[in-house]
Chains A and B, each alone.
Chain A
C-alpha cells in the first residue's frame, strides 16, 4: 500500500458534484459510506468477490471497493440512491412486487448489476444474466433475481 496522503477530489455522485477530502487510498465504497453518508452501497468482502458494493462508474457496473479516491477526479458515479432517477424504477418496483430480497443486504449491488445489464442488453438471455450477475447472495434469492430481470426485460421466464 502506498503512503497515504490526504487529497481533495471532486466527482459527481448521482448528478451532484461532491468534493471529498480523505486519504488517497480510500476506496470509493468507504468514500460513499463514511464521507458522504450514502450507506445504500454495502461492504461485503473488500476484494471484489461479493459485489455488494456495486455502483456505476462512468456508466459501467464496478465493485466500488476496488476504486481508490485518487482515481475518482471528474468521475461520474451512480449509486443505489440515484438508481430511480436513472431508469431503475422498473427493477425497483419488481424487486418489491416479486418479493425478491430476503435479508436484502446484497440487493443494492444486485440491482446495480441488473440495471447495468439491462442497459447494455435490453433483452438478456440466461447466459447474459449468468455472465453479468456475479454477485453473491447468501439467502439464495437467485431464482427470483433472474425472474425479475426477465420480467423487467419483457422476456419469457
Chain B
C-alpha cells in the first residue's frame, strides 16, 4: 500500500491488490521526503557541544537538556533540568529543555534509558533518574572547569563554577560556560566527580522554579503535537466504527473525492499492520492494547476540508456483537453477576472471614462507571512514511511506546524510524499505549512520501476512548462487638473488560487496613467481565475507583460502629507506619474536624495511597477532608478541601502543590460529573456539551494543601495519580454526614440529593 503514485489532482483512483481493495488515493507529485522541521525535540544523532547525549552547551551559554520524559503538565522536564542544574551550576535562565530522541536511544545503545518507564511522561524525581542526571551535570561541570584551567594554565582544583561562570579567584579571571564549552565537551575525566550531599543542594527542595515552557506558551510559540508544521503537509480527519470491534461494510469515496482539497480516502484495517519481527523494547508491549479500530479517513489539503468531506462521506458499518449491550447498565449488571459467582481470583487472604462473629454486619455494593480522559489536546500526530522510512512528530505519554508502535505498524527496521516528541496537551493515561499514533501511521503510510497530520475530532475522542475501567465491588464486614472494628472483611470485585493491563487492585488489595493485621480475617477476590468497550489507563488506573469504594465502605463501617470516622481509621492504621496517621490527623485538624455543623452541611474524610500501599516507606499517602453543603433542593457545593500528604521529601514544592490542586479538581470532576454512557453498544457522549466539566463558575472549593506531615524519609515519591483518589470518597462521606444518604456509585450529579 506504500506504492501508490498518481498525478496530483488527477482524481484517478487506484484500488485492488496493492491497496487491499480498500484504499483510494490521489497523491501529489514531487512530494518531498527530505523533511527538516524545527520543534521541541533533540537531534537523532550527536550535534553541538555535547557533554553527553543529554546535555549540550552552546557558545552563547544556552544549556540544552534533552529529556526522555515528555512534558504533559506535571513539570517532569523542568524537574530533570533542576536535577542537572543542581550539579552543573549553570544559570537557570540559560536552560532550555527538549525531548530526547528515542530513536537515538535505540541506535546509541540506550543512552537515555534510565529506571523503569524510562520514556514515560513523569517520574522526574525517580531515584535512579535523579542519580543519573546529577552525575551528568557534575561531569559536565568538571569538564568545564578543566577546560578553563587549561586555558588559564592553572590546576583545575582552583577553578570554581557558579551561575554559569567559571572563576579563578586568586587571579580574578572569569570565563562564561559558553566560552569553553567546545573545548570542555571533548575532555574526558579520569574519574567521575562525587556528588553534593543533600545538605549542599541549592535547587532541589530549596526553590520552586516554574515550568520552563510557560513563557513560550503564553506567546503562542509552544509546539504541541497538533501544532507541528512540515513542508507539503496534508491533513486527515478520521472516523472509526461507532461500536468497537465492528468493521467497515461499505463507503462511497467518490463522494468525498469530489469535495474541495480532498486528496484521498483511506481505509484503516487493523489486519494491515505489518508487525515487527523484533522483540519490542517497551514497558507496555505493542500487542492488543495498541491495536486500532476499523475506520476511514479523508486526507485533504486542510483539516477543515478533510472534516467536511468526511462528514459527507457515506459509510455503512457492520457494527458487530457489541450492539448486544443496549445500555451501560447491561454491562454493569453483567459485572455484578460475575462478581457474585464467588469464583473470583483471590488477591488477598488472611484468616477466615466465615469464622467471624459479630452482631453488626456492614454490606454494600459499589460501582464506578466508564469515563473518558477528556484530554484537552486532541489525539493525533504527523507522520511521513516512505517505502523505507517513517518519521513521526507527536505528543505521547511514552515516547518509546510511540516509537515501537510506529515500528510495528510499518514493519520497518528500528533504525529506519524516528519519533519527535512535542509538548503534550494532557495525558491522564490516554496516551500510554500509542494506539492513536498507530492510527496516525496507518493513515500516513497509505499516502506515502507526504507528511500527513491526523487530528481526532472531539467527537471521535469521546466515542473512541480507552475508558476508565468500570469497577463493581461488593464488600461485607463483620464488626467486632467490643471494638467496633471489622473482625472480617470480604470483597468481591469485577472489572469491566478483558485486558489485564487495566485491571489494577491499588486501593482495593493494598490498603493497610487489610494488610497490617488490623483486620484479622480478610478475603478479597477479583473477576472480570469481557466486553467490547475498550478500557485504558485513566489517571490512577483503577485506583481512582477502588479509592472511592474502599474509603466509602470503611466510612460505613465507622458509622455502623458509632465511632468517629477519623478515630476509626486511626485505630485501623495503628499497626501501620506513622506517616499515615500523621497525614490523617493533620488534614482533620486543619479542616476543623469534629465541629458541630447544621443539617445540610458536613465534613468527610478519606485516606489513600499510590502506587503500592503494602510496601513500607514507599509511594505517597494522602488524606483529604472535604467540607460540603447541600441545599434542600439537592444542590451540592464543595466548600473547602484540606489535604495532607507524605511522599518523603519534595523536590519542587510548588510543582507538588500544583499536582495536588489539579489532581483534586480532576478527582472531584470525576466523582461529581463523569460518565460516558452506551446505547446499542456505541458511546453516546460526543462533546463537552454532553460531558460536563467543572469550570470556574461552578463554586469550586478552596483547596488548602498542608506540607507539615511530610516524613522526610529519603525519597521524592509520586504525586500525579494520588490526589484523584481521596477527594471523591471524602465528598461522598461528607454528604452522608450532612444528610444521611450514602452514595455508593458515581457520578453524584445523577443522584438525588434533596432532603427535608
Q: In the complex the two chains form, what is the Cα distance from A111 to B214 in whole Å? A: 12
Question: Does B303 sit within 8 A of A, measured CB to CB?
Answer: yes
A-B contact pairs, 5 of them (CB 8 A): A27-B304, A45-B687, A97-B210, A103-B73, A103-B423
In the assembled complex, which residues on chain A have CB atoms less than 8 Å from the CB atom of B663? Answer: 140
Q: Is the CB of B217 within 8 A of A101?
A: yes
Once A101-B73, A136-B688 are accepted as A-B contacts, the answer to whether A92 and B426 lie under 8 Å apart by CB is no
Q: Is the CB of A136 within 8 A of B376?
A: yes
Q: In the complex the two chains form, what is the Cα distance from A1 to B311 in whole Å? A: 10
- The answer, among A41, A80, A106, A144, for a CB contact under 8 Å with B661, is A144
Q: Is the CB of A108 within 8 A of B700?
A: no
Q: Is the CB of B425 within 8 A of A104?
A: yes
- Closest approach, in angstroms, between the C-beta of A135 and any C-beta of chain B? 7
Residue of B nearest to A22 (CB): B302
- Closest approach, in angstroms, between the C-beta of A118 and any C-beta of chain B? 15
Question: Does B455 sit within 8 A of A, measured CB to CB?
Answer: yes
Once A25-B308, A30-B302, A30-B303 are accepted as A-B contacts, the answer to whether A143 and B700 lie under 8 Å apart by CB is yes
Q: In the complex the two chains form, what is the Cα distance from A27 to B307 in whole Å? A: 12
Q: In the complex the two chains form, what is the Cα distance from A142 to B210 in whole Å? A: 17
Once A6-B260, A139-B662 are accepted as A-B contacts, the answer to whether A39 and B229 lie under 8 Å apart by CB is yes
Binds A, one of B15-23, B241-249, B691-699: B691-699
- Closest approach, in angstroms, between the C-beta of A148 and any C-beta of chain B? 11
Q: Is the CB of B665 within 8 A of A140?
A: yes
In the assembled complex, which residues on chain B have CB atoms less than 8 Å from the CB atom of A141? Answer: 658, 661-662
Q: In the complex the two chains form, what is the Cα distance from A151 to B423 in whole Å? A: 28
Once A35-B302, A108-B217 are accepted as A-B contacts, the answer to whether A140 and B664 lie under 8 Å apart by CB is yes
In the assembled complex, which residues on chain B have CB atoms less than 8 Å from the CB atom of A80? Answer: 218-220
Q: In the complex the two chains form, what is the Cα distance from A46 to B376 in whole Å? A: 12
Q: Is the CB of A99 within 8 A of B458?
A: no
- The answer, among A41, A106, A139, A145, for a CB contact under 8 Å with B666, is A139
In the assembled complex, which residues on chain A have CB atoms less than 8 Å from the CB atom of B260? Answer: 4, 6, 23
Question: Does A26 sit within 8 A of B, measured CB to CB?
Answer: yes
Extra A-B contacts (19), CB below 8 Å, given A101-B214, A136-B693: A39-B227, A40-B221, A42-B224, A42-B226, A42-B425, A45-B687, A95-B214, A96-B214, A103-B427, A104-B213, A104-B425, A105-B425, A107-B218, A133-B695, A134-B697, A138-B666, A140-B664, A141-B658, A142-B694
Q: Is the CB of B303 within 8 A of A133?
A: no
Q: Is the CB of B662 within 8 A of A140?
A: yes
Residues from 18 to 74 in A contacting B, C-beta threshold 8 Å = 22-23, 25-27, 30, 33-35, 37-47, 49-50, 52
Question: Does A12 sit within 8 A of B, measured CB to CB?
Answer: no
Once A34-B302, A39-B223 are accepted as A-B contacts, the answer to whether A130 and B697 lie under 8 Å apart by CB is yes
Residues from 98 to 141 in A contacting B, C-beta threshold 8 Å = 98-108, 111, 129-131, 133-141
Contact digits for A79-90, partner B, Cβ 8 Å, 1 yes 0 no: 111011000100
- The answer, among A25, A43, A136, for a CB contact under 8 Å with B378, is A43
Contacts from A to B (Cβ < 8 Å): 1, 4, 6, 22-23, 25-27, 30, 33-35, 37-47, 49-50, 52, 79-81, 83-84, 88, 91-92, 95-108, 111, 129-131, 133-146
Q: Give the secondary structure class of B's interface.
A: loop
Q: In the complex the two chains form, what is the Cα distance from A52 to B458 in whole Å? A: 12
In the assembled complex, which residues on chain B have CB atoms less than 8 Å from the CB atom of A42? Answer: 224, 226, 376-377, 425
- Closest approach, in angstroms, between the C-beta of B557 and any C-beta of chain A? 31
Q: Is the CB of B689 within 8 A of A81?
A: no
Question: Does B464 sit within 8 A of A, measured CB to CB?
Answer: no
Question: Does B285 sit within 8 A of A, measured CB to CB?
Answer: no
Q: Give the secondary structure class of A's interface.
A: loop
Contacts from B to A (Cβ < 8 Å): 72-74, 208, 210-211, 213-215, 217-224, 226-227, 229, 235, 259-261, 302-305, 308, 311, 374-378, 423-428, 455, 457-458, 654-655, 658, 661-666, 669, 687-689, 693-697, 700, 703
- The answer, among A91, A99, A138, for a CB contact under 8 Å with B428, is A138
- Closest approach, in angstroms, between the C-beta of A87 and any C-beta of chain B? 13
Residue of B nearest to A39 (CB): B227
Residue of A nearest to B72 (CB): A103
Those 4 A-B pairs whose CB atoms lie nearest each other, nearest first: A40-B220, A105-B425, A140-B665, A102-B73
Residue of A nearest to B373 (CB): A138
In the assembled complex, which residues on chain B have CB atoms less than 8 Å from the CB atom of A107? Answer: 217-218
In the assembled complex, which residues on chain B have CB atoms less than 8 Å from the CB atom of A108? Answer: 217-218, 220
Residue of B nearest to A47 (CB): B687
In the assembled complex, which residues on chain B have CB atoms less than 8 Å from the CB atom of A106? Answer: 376
In the assembled complex, which residues on chain A have CB atoms less than 8 Å from the CB atom of B687? Answer: 45-47, 49
- Closest approach, in angstroms, between the C-beta of B317 and any C-beta of chain A? 23
Q: Is the CB of A23 within 8 A of B458?
A: no
- Closest approach, in angstroms, between the C-beta of A117 and any C-beta of chain B? 11
Q: In the complex the two chains form, what is the Cα distance from A143 to B694 in whole Å? A: 12
- Closest approach, in angstroms, between the C-beta of B402 and any C-beta of chain A? 17
Q: Is the CB of B703 within 8 A of A96?
A: no
Once A101-B211, A141-B662 are accepted as A-B contacts, the answer to whether A50 and B376 lie under 8 Å apart by CB is yes
Q: Is the CB of B697 within 8 A of A96?
A: no
In the assembled complex, which residues on chain B have CB atoms less than 8 Å from the CB atom of A40? Answer: 219-222
Q: In the complex the two chains form, what is the Cα distance from A53 to B681 in whole Å? A: 32
Q: In the complex the two chains form, what is the Cα distance from A127 to B466 in whole Å? A: 37
In the assembled complex, which residues on chain B have CB atoms less than 8 Å from the CB atom of A33? Answer: 227, 303
Residue of B nearest to A133 (CB): B696
Q: In the complex the two chains form, what is the Cα distance from A105 to B425 in whole Å? A: 5
Q: Is the CB of A103 within 8 A of B696?
A: no
- Closest approach, in angstroms, between the C-beta of A63 and any C-beta of chain B? 12
- Closest approach, in angstroms, between the C-beta of A96 and any C-beta of chain B? 4
Once A42-B226, A49-B687, A103-B73 are accepted as A-B contacts, the answer to whether A81 and B220 lie under 8 Å apart by CB is yes
Q: Is the CB of A26 within 8 A of B220?
A: no
Residue of A nearest to B652 (CB): A99
- Closest approach, in angstroms, between the C-beta of A19 and any C-beta of chain B? 16
- Closest approach, in angstroms, between the C-beta of B373 and any C-beta of chain A? 8
In the assembled complex, which residues on chain B have CB atoms less than 8 Å from the CB atom of A84? Answer: 219
